[in-house]
Chain A
């Protein structure tokens, strides 16, 4: 039987990698992918705890997180497409001004 701690540890590692991606990469799409990685790390911890405490609610949370992530990706990528149209770039360093 695998320990819950190991899954939580792996989840922490993946979360840190995702956070570093958000902070270090400049490509807006890669930024989004890093956010997805962080969400996944959180989901993994939720599922691990659900197994540990024998509670199905953790699974429900993960279900909702996945649904929200799908919505977020749809809107986020639409934003990226809209920004790319006006700025011809998705480098977030060039997008630090709010003006269109």
Chain B
């Protein structure tokens, strides 16, 4: 990395110097292209692949082609006899550049620019309701309404919060008396790009209030065609994630001969486990969630909580971070069943990639983007007007000339040869009329 950087520095500075020094403008343009390519490679080193491509396509491509085209068009490769009327300028320019170089070197090397890492990522929070015996709740953070009327199985959207201590209170929807009040600390992490947290209300009984857990989400970009799945156990006891394999061996009595396997063992109640990245399209039909029983070696005989066999709900979606909250659901008839509540959120896009740039361009920076488009349009019109030979004045002279065309040439056009003066039809000689006789 360092060697590459040193080479790039040498090539870019060298090409810049040669660009300034060469007498032939074509050579200058070619050296400048080398410089632009070096800068593009540096963009790649600085995690800006999209800009690197733009640099190559727009700068080293389009703009430099325009330069070369104009140089060749004007035949201005070499300047004849440079008029050195401003000779003092070169001395002054060199002196100014030297002063600037010294100041810049002093400022940069002595850490006069503030390069302390800031806090770039916005801290976001959302709430997931997985407490079976608690009805719809309003969620308050530090006394302010964060989300209202969250039902069981629902997740709110992410909302920006400032990092710090929060007292989260759950009120039954529309009431002012919290059923649960907990204090959580939301850290302002400077290293993560997506500093997101999920508050999960879970557990509880008909008489006891629900628990509240804080789970940091991992929305970091994933490799192509993979997705991230986190399983949070909001069930009352530890759970296993089991893959039962193919169903063909269901009759096999010897557990060792079946292709059952435990994907994740023993996720404690109130804690989460993030599966390794799974590829898109992986079939989860044979996956299930079971209770944990250390004395039962036969996985098929473990009490089954729920199967993950609905591919519409439980599938690996690319570029997503899914949170499956395993909870008990209280049904209307008083019975209960276990469900895995899927909460799907998009992963953030790769830093510097086209999608990240596009997201910013089409959300926060839409107006500047439009203005740039208008500016480019104006520049296009301006370039046409400037280089157009006559400008855009209406050509009144041409019109008049056509009207004033002598009659003889009109006749010549029609008969195909010149007509001499005698052949021309003449208007009758106008006699000056006597006026006022």
Contacts and interface: CB of A to CB of B under 8 A. Distances in A.
Contact of B104 (A4, A12, A37, A57): A12
Interface in B27-45: 28-29, 32, 35-36, 39, 42-43, 45
B313 interface: no
Interface string A66-77: 111111111101
A27 B93 contact: no
Given A40-B35, A43-B39, A59-B48, A27 B67 contact: no
B331 interface: no
B96 interface: yes
A71 B108 contact: no
9 contacts: A24-B20, A24-B89, A43-B39, A57-B360, A63-B51, A71-B378, A73-B66, A81-B70, A84-B74
Given A19-B100, A24-B94, 5 more contacts: A5-B111, A10-B9, A14-B13, A27-B76, A54-B191
Interface string B165-201: 0000000000000000000000000010100000000
B380 interface: yes
B83 to A, nearest CB: 4
Interface string A24-68: 111101101110110010011001101111111101101110111
Interface in A1-21: 1-2, 4-10, 12-14, 16-21
B104 A16 contact: yes
Interface residues of B, number: 85
B13 A27 contact: no
Interface string B108-128: 110101010110110000000
B12 A14 contact: yes
B13 A13 contact: yes
A8 B105 CA distance: 10
Given A37-B32, A66-B55, A72 B48 contact: no
A29 B193 contact: no
B54 interface: yes
Contacts of B17: 17
Contacts of A12: 100-101, 104-105, 108
The 8 closest A-B pairs by CB, nearest first: A23-B93, A71-B379, A78-B383, A78-B386, A12-B104, A93-B83, A54-B120, A17-B16
Nearest to B193: A54
A51 B48 contact: yes
B67 A2 contact: no
Interface in B79-106: 79, 82-86, 89-90, 92-94, 96-97, 100-101, 104-105
Interface-central residue, B12, B54, B82, B191, by most chain A CB under 10 Å: B12
B51 A94 contact: no
A17 B20 contact: yes
Contacts of B51: 43, 47, 59, 62-63, 66
Contact of B25 (A23, A30, A70): A30
Interface stretch (B261-269, B300-308, B350-358, B394-402): B350-358
Given A6-B5, A24-B20, A54-B351, A36 B357 contact: no
Nearest to A77: B70
B46 interface: yes
B268 to A, nearest CB: 34
B365 interface: yes
Given A59-B51, A78-B387, A91-B79, A17 B13 contact: yes
Contact of A93 (B50, B63, B82): B82
Contacts of B387: 78, 81-82
A92 to B, nearest CB: 9
A41 B77 CA distance: 25
B59 interface: yes
A73 B376 CA distance: 11
B91 to A, nearest CB: 10
B5 A2 contact: yes
A84 B2 CA distance: 46
Contact of A79 (B109, B352, B384, B386): B386
Contact of B74 (A33, A40, A81): A81
A2 B232 CA distance: 39
Contacts of B79: 26-27, 90-91
A69 to B, nearest CB: 7
Nearest to A14: B16
A64 B82 contact: no
B371 to A, nearest CB: 9
Contacts of A71: 375-376, 378-379
Nearest to A1: B1
